Structure 1
Amino acid sequence: MKTRIIGAIVALVLAIVGTVVLVGYVRGADQRAAEGAEFVDVYVVDENIPEGTPAEEIEELISRTELPAISVAEDRVTDLADLVGLVTAAELLPGDQLREDRFIDPAVLAAQGDVPVPEGMQEVTVALEVQRVVGGAIQPGSRIGIVVTNKLQPGPPTQEGAATTIPGTRFIDNQVLVTRVKAGSTYTPEEGEETTSAVQNIMVTVAMTAPQIEKLVWAREMQEDDLAGVWLTLQNEGTSVDGSQLIGPANILP
C-alpha cells in the first residue's frame, strides 16, 4: 500500500514539474517570436463610424498603433490622404483595422437600395454625367427637379422673315421621385475632343407619369445630338420653385 501511495505522489510531482516546464517553454517561445517579429503602423477604429461617413471626418475616431506584420490586413490604410473624397462603405466598429476596401466613392454608395414605384406611375432611366446629377449626391428616395435646355426654342425671325432658334432653359418637373441610382460607365474622350479627362456617368431611375416621361426622353434624345441638355437638382419638402420661368438670351441678365 505504501509503495502505491509513494508511486502516486511521485507521478503527481512529475506531472506538475512537466506542466511548469512546458508552460515556461511556450512563454519563452512566444517571447522569442515577438522579439524577432516585424511591427508595422496600423490605423485602428476607436469609436463607431457610421456608413457613409466622409474620410475627412474620421481622424478623431481612429488612432495609430503598432501590430505584428503577420496580423495586419494586406489592404490596410497607410496614408489617410489616399482616402480623400471617399466615404465609408459600411459601419466601422471599435477595434477594426482601417482597410482600403471599407471606403468607396460616394456615387457608388448612393447606388445601393431601391424605392417602390407609386401606383399609376412607371420608371424610366437616364444616364447623365456626374456634374449633371448634383455631383452624385442623389440617392434612392430623393426628390429631384428636372431642368431642360432646348436649343431649338423658336427665336425672333430675321429681317427677311426666316425662322430662327435660340436656346431656352426651364424646369420641366419638380418633386420627381428617384427609385434607383447606379454608377454607369466611365469613358475617356478621344484626342481632339474638348476634354480628355475621364467622365463618369450615373444612371438615375425615376418614377413618372407618361406625359412626364415623354418630355424627359425627348430632352435626353436631343442631348445626344447637342440640341438640348438635362440637369437634375436635389429638392426637399420645402423647396420653392417660385419665380421659375423660361430663361434665354433676352432675359439671362437683369
Structure 2
Amino acid sequence: MGRRVIALAAAVVLALAGAVLVLLYAQGADKRALEGQQPQTVYVSEKVVPAGTTLKDAERSGLITRTQVASKAKPAGALAGITSDNSSFVARADLPPGQVVLSAAFGSERLGQKAIGVKSGMVAVSVSLEDPNRVGAFVTAGSTITIYDTYELKKLGTDEATAQYNDLSVKGTSVLLTKVSVIGIGTTSLSAPVATEQAEKDKGAAPTTSTPVQSYLVTVELTPADSVKLVHAIQHGANPQNNPAKHIYFALEGPDTTVPPNLSTDDFGYHGIVK
C-alpha cells in the first residue's frame, strides 16, 4: 500500500513538472516570436546610389530612405543609422534600387586610383555607351575589348571633285584600340527625350519624343598615349545635348583573338589591309 502511494505521488510530481516545463517553453516561444516582430530601423535604396556618394547626401537627396522592418526580417549587417561617425562614408560601388542598404556598402575609402584599381603607369577613361555600343550586358569589369571609331571622311582641296566628295558625307570606321581592359561598369542617367519630328513643330502640334534610353559608364584602363586617342575620339563629333558618343563602339574580344589594328572600312568598302 505504501509503495503504491509513493508511486502515485511521484507520478503526480512528474506530471506537474512536465506541465510547468511546457508552460515555460510556451512562454519563451511567445517571447521569441514577439521579439522577432519588434520593429527595427533599416535603410532602403529608392534610386541608384552612384559610387562615391556620401551617406549624408544619399539620405538628403532621397536616394535612400529610412524604414522599419520586423526584427527577423532585418538582414545581417544592415545599416541601422546615419551618425556623425559614418555620415561622410562613401558608397564603394553603385547601389541598385530596391534593396536594404548594408553598412559594408559604405566606407571611408573614396573613389580614385586605388578604389578602381588602376595599374601603375596607366590611366582610367570612362565612356558613356548604350547597350548595343557595349555588346549588351556582356562587357563587364575584367573584359578585354576592341574599340572602334566612326567618323566623317573629308578630302583636302578646293577643286570640284573634292567638293563633291565632301558633300557626300562619307563615313568611315576603323579600329581605334585593341586589347583594352575594362575596369568598371556603372549606370548613368537616362537620356532626355528629344523631338523627332520637326514637321509637327511647324504644324503647332506637340512634337513626338523618343523613349529615354539607359546608358552605361564604361571605364577602361589605358596607357597615357592611348588615352589621348580615346578622349579625342569621344570628343570628336560628340553632341553634349545628345546621348553617349554614338560613334564609339566596343567589341568583346574572345580568347586568343587578335584584331588587326589597321582594319578599317568606309561607305565604299574595306580599305584596311589585313596581314
Measured against the shorter chain, the TM-score band is 0.5 to 0.7
Counterpart contact for 1:150–1:229, Cα < 8 Å: yes
Alignment match, 2:232: 218
Alignment match, 1:197: 211
Q: Within 5 Å, give how 1:129-208 maps onto structure 2.
A: 129-151=130-152, 153-155=153-155, 159=160, 161-162=162-163, 164=166, 165-192=169-196, 196-208=210-222
Report the secondary structure of 1:123's partner residue. strand
Counterpart contact for 1:115–1:178, Cα < 8 Å: no
Counterpart contact for 2:175–2:261, Cα < 8 Å: no
Report the secondary structure of 1:154's partner residue. coil
Counterpart contact for 1:149–1:168, Cα < 8 Å: yes
Is 1:239 paired with 2:257? yes
Task: Tell me, in whole angstroms, the C-alpha distance in 2 between the residues paired with 1:135 and 1:195.
Answer: 24
Q: Within 5 Å, give how 1:3-42 maps onto structure 2.
A: 10=9, 12-18=10-16
Query: Structure 1 155/195 Cα, relative in aligned 2: closer, same or farther at 3 Å?
Result: farther
Task: Tell me, in whole angstroms, the C-alpha distance in 2 between the residues paired with 1:161 and 1:242.
Answer: 30
Residues 215-250 of structure 1: per-residue CA shift (max 9 Å, x gap): 211221234238971001111341132495221112
Report the secondary structure of 1:185's partner residue. coil
Task: Tell me, in whole angstroms, the C-alpha distance in 1 between the residues paired with 2:11 and 2:119.
Answer: 80
Amino acid aligned to 2:14:
I
Deviates more, 1:163-172 or 1:153-162: 153-162
Amino acid aligned to 1:169:
T
Query: Structure 1 249/161 Cα, relative in aligned 2: closer, same or farther at 3 Å?
Result: closer
Deviation for aligned residue 1:118: 2.9
Q: TM-score, normalised by structure 2?
A: 0.49
Query: Structure 1 161/197 Cα, relative in aligned 2: closer, same or farther at 3 Å?
Result: closer
Amino acid aligned to 1:140:
A
Query: Structure 1 147/248 Cα, relative in aligned 2: closer, same or farther at 3 Å?
Result: same
Residues 31-73 of structure 1: per-residue CA shift (max 9 Å, x gap): xxxxxxxxxxxxxxxxxxxxxxxxxxxxxxxxxxxxxxxxxx8
Query: Structure 1 208/195 Cα, relative in aligned 2: closer, same or farther at 3 Å?
Result: farther
Report the secondary structure of 1:247's partner residue. strand
Residues 199-224 of structure 1: per-residue CA shift (max 9 Å, x gap): 11111111112221122112212342
Counterpart contact for 1:150–1:228, Cα < 8 Å: no
Percentage of matched positions with identical amino acids: 23
Q: TM-score, normalised by structure 1?
A: 0.52
Counterpart contact for 2:264–2:270, Cα < 8 Å: no
Report the secondary structure of 1:239's partner residue. coil
Residues 121-170 of structure 1: per-residue CA shift (max 9 Å, x gap): 1111111112211102111111111000012x224866265372521100
Query: Structure 1 242/191 Cα, relative in aligned 2: closer, same or farther at 3 Å?
Result: closer
Deviation for aligned residue 1:13: 2.5
Aligned CA-pair RMSD:
4.3
Is 1:120 paired with 2:138? no
Report the secondary structure of 1:182's partner residue. strand
Deviation for aligned residue 1:116: 3.2
Query: Structure 1 21/191 Cα, relative in aligned 2: closer, same or farther at 3 Å?
Result: farther
